[in-house]
Structure 1
Amino acid sequence: MALIDYFIRRPEFDIFDMTVDHLAGVARIHAALFKPAWSASEFHALLLQESVFGFVARQNNAASGSAMGGFVLTRSAGGEAEILTIGVDPRYVRVSLGWRLMQAALGRARQDGAEAMFLEVDQANVAAQALYRRLGFRKVGERKAYYKPSGPDAAAGGADVLRLDL
């Protein structure tokens, strides 16, 4: 361990049910990761639906306040669940927040009686693809030009449709 490790506090996070109080932070993280981004009111409209639930990761050892590190929003109905969106604040990558948020969503989906979880993931998102493979998801389909281009010279990107039997 390097000397600097003794002086830098590593962020630690707890996972909580998403509430309306979290939506400004959720929208901020979503805007940093996705174009077009969803607004806090769009997240609110989804969260009001009976079949939709979410989780947030909040830092428990911040010097001031409690920074939000990430979120996942999920829908569960009719024996199936789907990840609507998930995001980890770029400041907190590589601290297993994606894994922990997915574990929370998978656990809740199982509790709700879901037998399978689905999601779409950008084919260019190598980190997310690796996370979902480690969780046991497998590719069951593809959506061409699913993600809108983010720049004037960018092309629309495809998405893989993934499934995990619960």
Structure 2
Amino acid sequence: MGLPQFLDIEFAATATGYLPTAMAWSLADGRMKTVVVTPEDDWLPDDPDDHELDLTYLQEQGAPALDVVQEMSEDLGDTTVFVDGLDPDESLLEWLFESLGRPLPFEVTTVDRLIHGVDSGELEDWRRELMVTHGLEPQLPESGVYALLLLARDAGLIQGMEAGEL
């Protein structure tokens, strides 16, 4: 069995809801993947003033949403993936997969289901402290995933890894 797997999503607001713009997830061996998501045309409001998306950046740097969903399915299928529980990660994932006609192949739950004996407020303080200590940018999904890996390590759930190995 590998390491716990974590996921974080960056998103933007539109007039009709939220759209995933970037995401990161960890693999069972501790490696991490990060991707910018190119939105599908039908996801976007008709009025360009009804969203705060940098479409040029997303189109130039992003991967097609279907490719992202397929890669996530291959990497995370049939497992439980943990999120920080602060953002609408679970609903964004469900929406993303559903909008592309795909079932969500993995279970998503919050990190407090993994780390026992610490309430969610204390976990968030601990995660925030790790982000500051390690100079992580909170708006980057890869920083969120790295902080969750550090949290799991410091909680004793990842054995045999020193601070420099994550």
Global fold match (TM > 0.5): no
Question: Which of the two has greater strand per residue?
Answer: 1
TM-score by length of 2: 0.26
Question: Which of the two has greater helix per residue?
Answer: 2
Q: Larger relative contact order (C-alpha < 8 A, sep ≥ 6)?
A: 2
TM-score by length of 1: 0.26
